[in-house]
Structure formats: structure tokens, C-alpha cells
Chains A and B, each alone.
Chain A
Amino acid sequence: MDSIKSWLARSGMGSVLILALIIIVVFPLTMDLFRLNLVGKYLTYAFVAVGLVMLWGYGGVLSLGQGVFFGLGGYMMAMFMKLEASDPETTKIQSTPGIPDFMDWNQITELPLWWEPFRHLPLALLAVLLIPTLLAFIISFAMFRRRVGGVYFAIITQAVCLILTVLIVGQQGYTGGVNGITDLKTILGWDTRTDEAKYILYFVNAGLLIASILLCRWIQLSKLGTLLLAMRDKEDRVRFSGYDVSMFKVFAFCLAAMLSAIGGAMFVLQVGFMSPSLVGIVPSIEMVIFAAVGGRMSLVGAVYGALLVNFGKTYFSESFPDLWLFLMAALFIGVVLAFPNGLAGLYESHVKPRLGKRKDKPAAGTDSTPSSDAPPATPLHSGAPHGGKPLARTALPDGVQGTSA
């Protein structure tokens, strides 16, 4: 029992289990289908936030363009479902039956060649995973090879967002334009709009999210996770230890992109449409806010951040239709100013020590004596500049050292 406990604590699996319990058991039991479907939608944003924890929190690379990958994943899924919804029978009133309605409205008489692969589900699913990742690879490889980073990289990701939005809106005949791709009904004949399907999709989504968190946690605990943290701290030291720093950043960016794309595809399955309003600059920045509020070092925190901000958004916009945007902004500014490590940071610095104290009381004299954390006083120590002073252990949140999920 103790070994399980210590394993849970070390790997941070405890918090993942609690999260899984909440989203897989508690929510479905306590919410009606409308609210649950809403939560399902929020959880698709959580994929992006989890990706941002890896990219921004661990890798130190801020991307303000994750909407691109969320959107691409969503569009790939939507294209498949749109083609299935546009069989010649249902579209027989069109001048060209068998193509999506928006193409017909735009006087397109033949399905474009690049839409063809999306007739097949396996190809479409492969495209959901691979095309956004490939785009992420091209962008990040070009940038990181040239050592473009920080603010400049963030600005470029914003530009990519804008380009994609303009492209989608401009190519109305091929993409559905501003309206996006709507009226999605079935996958391989399975109706996604029924109550039963909504439950199933919710659980698939929740399962994928937990799996993504476990994958990211595994990466964090591997040497690659340590290297990402090391790079954020001292990039040159990593480079001059024989690592190709740019490739590690490319990996983090591709990983975040792939997770976002999965989120986008799940969004389409649960919400039933995809539009450029989910690709642009504003949603991309919102997704960063989810990660920031939840705590950018915490995978689990990112999910709570996505849920909380979106619940807040729904609640505020229902209760204070005129004020809600200001309230959201205040929430974000408040969180960033008061707890730069987000909710997870707050938990690590305030809640956890208290919980720990309560637990330690009956078992006095456990290994949590503070002195064991300080370096052993060697004779060499005394002469150094900082040697004389007692070295207080700074209250870093656990996540900063990469020991919690």
C-alpha cells in the first residue's frame, strides 16, 4: 500500500486519477445531457491547453497560434462528415448533387481533388493526426533552425493564424467560408446527434484526454522532459552538452499541435460544426489563457483551467450579458498577477502544505524535516560567496521541478 502511495506521489498519478474520476464519473452522474455536452466541448479545448503545458510550460515556447491546429484537426473531421452528409440522395435538389451544399452555392460543379481522401474514415483520421503535425513541423523547423524564439515566434504563430483564417474565409467554395462546415450528421452511418451518441462521444473524448495527459506525463518523466526544463533554464548549456536544441523544440511544438488537432476533431464530433471563428487569433489566445489560469506547469491544472474559464464564460455571459467580457479579462489579469503559476501553483503553495501537515501529525518524525533539503555543509562550502548564509529552500511549486502532473 505504501509503495502504491509513494508511486502515486512521485509520478503525480494521484491528481490524474482524481481528474479522471471527476470527468468520467462525477460529471456524467450529476449533469443533464445539455450541460454534459457543454463540458465535453470545454474538454476539447483542454487538449490544446495540455499541449500548451508541454510547449509553453515545459519547453518555454509560447505559441499564440494553437487555434490553427485545433481548427485544422476540426476541419479534417468536418470534411469527412460533410461528405457523408452530402450523398446524392439528400442533395438531389442541388444543381450538382453529391457535393457539399456550400460548394454548390459557389457554382462549383465537381468535388475538388484534395477533398477526395476525406471520403474514407481511416484516411480522414490519419489526416487529422498527421497534417496539422506536418504543418507544425514545417513552421517550427524553419523558425527554430534560425533560432527564432520568444516574442518573435509568438508573433509568427499569430500570423499563421491570420493567414489560415483569411484563407478559409476567402476560399468559400472549398471551405465553407465564414459559415464554416455545418449540418454534420453521421460517421459511417452512425448518427452523432442522438442522446446515446452524445454520451458515447463524451466518454471517448474524456478517455482520449486522460490518455493524452498520461502520454505527456510519461514524456515529462523521461529524459526528454528533463531536457525541456533544462533548455528553458539554460539553453546554451544544453546545446553545448551535445543536444540539437532546435529539434527538441520542434518535437514539443509538433506534440502540442497533434494534441490540439485531436481536440479539434473531438469538438466537431460533439458540437457538429467547424468554422473559422475557432481558428483565429482570439480563440488561440483564449487557449493560452486556459493554460495560464490552470497553471502552465501542470497538465491536470490545464484541464481545470479550460473548464473553469469556460464555465465562467458561460455563467458570466448568461448572467451579465453586457459585462462578461470585462469579467473574463479581470479573471485573467487577476490570475496572472496574483498567481503566476495558475491554480496548480496555488494548490502547490497553499493547499498542499496544509494537507501535508495534517497527514504528518500522527506520524511524527517522517522524512520531511527541512534540514534534509539543505546541502550538507562541507568545509569547502564556508568560503564561497553565499557559503555563510543559510540557504533557505525557495518555495518553488513542485511543477517547476517537474515532479508533479
Chain B
Amino acid sequence: MSNTDFVLAVEDLTVSFDGFKAIDALTLYVDRGELRVIIGPNGAGKTTLLDLICGKTRASGGSIKFKNMEMTKMAEHKIVRSGIGRKFQTPSIYENLSVFKNLEVSFPRGRSVFGALGFRCTDEVKTRVQSVADEISLGDSLDVEAGLLSHGQKQWLEIGMLLMQEPELLMLDEPIAGMSVRERELTGELLQRICKGRSVIVIEHDMDFVKRIAHKVTVMHQGKILAEGSMDKVQNDPKVIDVYLGH
């Protein structure tokens, strides 16, 4: 596979579970600074695609290149360290730790065993935690135990934990699921802000939300890409209407 200017180049990616091809020869390119939304019916393979990129699931074939580095054989924590952050579908935070601790733990320093032993929470770390917390509207709740946050706040906290790592590619799996209208708006604004200087991939079902944030939309169906392009173009694609939007 040749080198590209894309931040993420997924080429001919295939994964099969007991013969069922969850992702079938999929090719996808994401630009620097792009906010890409992936939509598709349930079981289309959207979450599996993110799992493959971040190394949670291993590919049966094909390649995933991030900044022209091959990711398919790399250990998960190394993929993260190379600059890919992933938010899970259900908020995945440390419920028993405070908001501050949740963010502090995600600070990308002291990641080895002995590094963690010697890690000190310096002013630099504190400033960074505060600025990220402000970004996700949790600036006043640093001492709150994360388990006590509302569902929407938990979603933000997990996004904040990813922001602490300053990833170049951020992958968000249904970030607004379970959020109120107001929280959706705020999340939309948050996504617009954080895609400055980095690429973001979002999986989402809410079409109004997608319309508001997406630079480009990819429609997946049965492990393949059905259509790709601007929201308008995709919405008027007869194939897409047939499998997804029309129903």
C-alpha cells in the first residue's frame, strides 16, 4: 500500500467472525482536520470498524494506516500512544474516582509502571485538567465522584479524558446517545471546537445532529460502504434511501 496524505487510510479491510464478514473489503480515507460521521443501520459494522482501528478487534485482512504507520498488528496501548483516541458507546469512565482523577489518569505521562510510580501531579497537569474540564462544562465539578454525574456529563467526561491525551484522531461511538436536546446542542458545539487541529470520526444515528456537525458522511451497510459525501448528496442517494433513510 502506498503512502498517502490522509491521516487515516483504511484499505481493503476485512474481518470475519466464524465466516460472517462484519467488515467486507472496506476502504475509507479520513483527512486531517476532518469531522467524518459514519451512519448506517444496526449491524452495518460501524462499531466493529472503530474496534478494528483502535486494535480491540484484529483484522482478518487489509490494512489500516494512521499517519502512514501500519496499525493492524500494533498493541492497543501503542495505537493509543501513536495518537488515536476512542470513546466507547456506553460511557466508560472510572465511577469510583473523582472527575479530577479521571482526567488526571488520562494525562499522557507516566504511562509505564515505574513512570506511574514517579508521576507527580504538577501545576502543568492541574492547569491542563482544569482547561479540559472547562471545555466539557465540568469545570466546577472536579471533586465530584464520576459515578454521580448525569448520563450526559459522563459522556462529556469520557470525551474530556480523550482530549487529555491530545489525540490526532478521535473516534466517538454515539456520543449523544441518551442526551437531552440542550446537551445535544452543547455536544455539537464541543465537537466543532475539538475538531480544530485534529480529525474526528463520529458514529451517530440522529440525522439532525449529523447534518449539523458532519463535514462528510459515510453510509455503511452490511460491512461495506454504501455511499460517501456531503450530507445532501448522501441523503438523496437512492441506495441510501432504500436501505436506511427511507424506513
- Using a CB–CB distance below 8 Å, which chain A residues touch chain B? 219, 222-224, 226-227, 229-230, 233-234, 236-245, 247-248, 250-251, 373-376, 378-387, 391, 393-394, 396, 400-402
Q: Are B161 and A241 in contact (CB under 8 A)?
A: yes
Q: Given known contacts A375-B148, A380-B183, A381-B150, is B93 in contact with A222 (CB within 8 Å)? A: no
B contact set with A: CB distance below 8 Å: 54, 56, 75-77, 80-81, 85-86, 88, 92-97, 101, 104-106, 108, 110-113, 116-119, 121, 137, 140-141, 144-145, 147-153, 158, 161, 165, 178-183, 186
Q: Are B151 and A233 in contact (CB under 8 A)?
A: no
Closest CB in chain A relative to B38 CB, distance in Å: 18
Of A224, A226, A233, A380, which contacts B113 at CB under 8 A? A224
Residues of B within 8 A of A378 (CB): 137, 140-141
CB neighbours of B77 from chain A (8 A): 239-240, 242-245
| A380 x B76 contact (CB < 8 A) | no
Give the chain B neighbours of A374 by CB distance below 8 A: 144, 148
B147 — which chain A residues lie within 8 A by C-beta?
Answer: 394
Q: How far is the CA of A381 from the CA of B56 in the complex (A)?
A: 32
Cα distance, A380 to B187, chains bound together (Å) = 11
B97 pairs with A385, CB closer than 8 A: no
| Nearest CB of chain A from residue B79's CB, rounded to whole Å | 8
For B121, the chain A residues whose CB sits under 8 A away are: 223
Given contacts A219-B117, A383-B180, 10 further A-B contacts (CB under 8 A): A223-B117, A223-B121, A224-B116, A242-B77, A243-B77, A243-B111, A382-B180, A391-B148, A402-B96, A402-B97
The 10 closest A-B CB pairs, nearest first, are: A383-B180, A384-B150, A242-B80, A223-B119, A224-B116, A384-B152, A375-B144, A237-B92, A223-B116, A230-B94
**Among candidates A222, A237, A240, A247, residue contacting B119 with C-beta atoms closer than 8 Å:** A222
Q: List B contacts of A382 (CB < 8 A).
A: 180
Residue among B88, B110, B118, B152 with max Cβ neighbours from chain A (10 Å): B152
CA distance A226 to B116 in the complex (A): 9
A383 and B144 contact, Cβ closer than 8 Å, known pairs A237-B92, A244-B77, A378-B137 = no
List, in ascending order, chain A residues with CB within 8 A of B81's CB. 242
Q: Are A384 and B151 in contact (CB under 8 A)?
A: yes
Q: Tally inter-chain residue pairs, CB-CB below 8 A.
A: 143
Name the residue of chain A whose CB is nearest to the CB of B152: A384
A376 vs B139: C-alpha distance when bound (angstroms):
11
For B85, list chain A residues within 8 Å (CB): 240
The chain B residue sitting closest to A222, CB to CB, is B117
Contact A242 B165 (CB under 8 A): yes
Among A223, A241, A379, A393, contact of B165 (Cβ-Cβ < 8 Å): A241
- B76 near A239: Cβ-Cβ < 8 Å: yes
| Minimum CB distance partner of B110 in chain A | A223
A380 to B137, Cβ gap below 8 A? yes
* Chain A residues whose C-beta falls within 8 Å of the C-beta of B179 in the assembled complex: 383-384
Which listed residue (B54, B97, B101) contacts A240, Cβ 8 A? B54
Cα of A303 to Cα of B152 in the assembled complex, Å: 42
Instruction: Name the CB-closest residue of A to B84.
Output: A240
CA A401 to CA B101, docked complex, whole Å: 11
Counting chain A CB atoms within 10 Å of each CB, which of B86, B92, B137, B151 scores highest?
A: B92
B148 engages A223 (CB within 8 Å) = no
Q: Report how far A374 CA is from B119 CA in the complex, Å.
A: 29
Give the one of A223, A374, A382 with max B CB within 10 A.
A223
23 intermolecular pairs with C-beta atoms under 8 Å apart: A223-B119, A223-B121, A227-B116, A229-B96, A230-B94, A240-B85, A248-B116, A251-B113, A374-B144, A375-B141, A375-B153, A379-B182, A380-B137, A380-B150, A380-B182, A383-B180, A383-B182, A385-B151, A386-B151, A387-B150, A387-B152, A400-B96, A401-B97
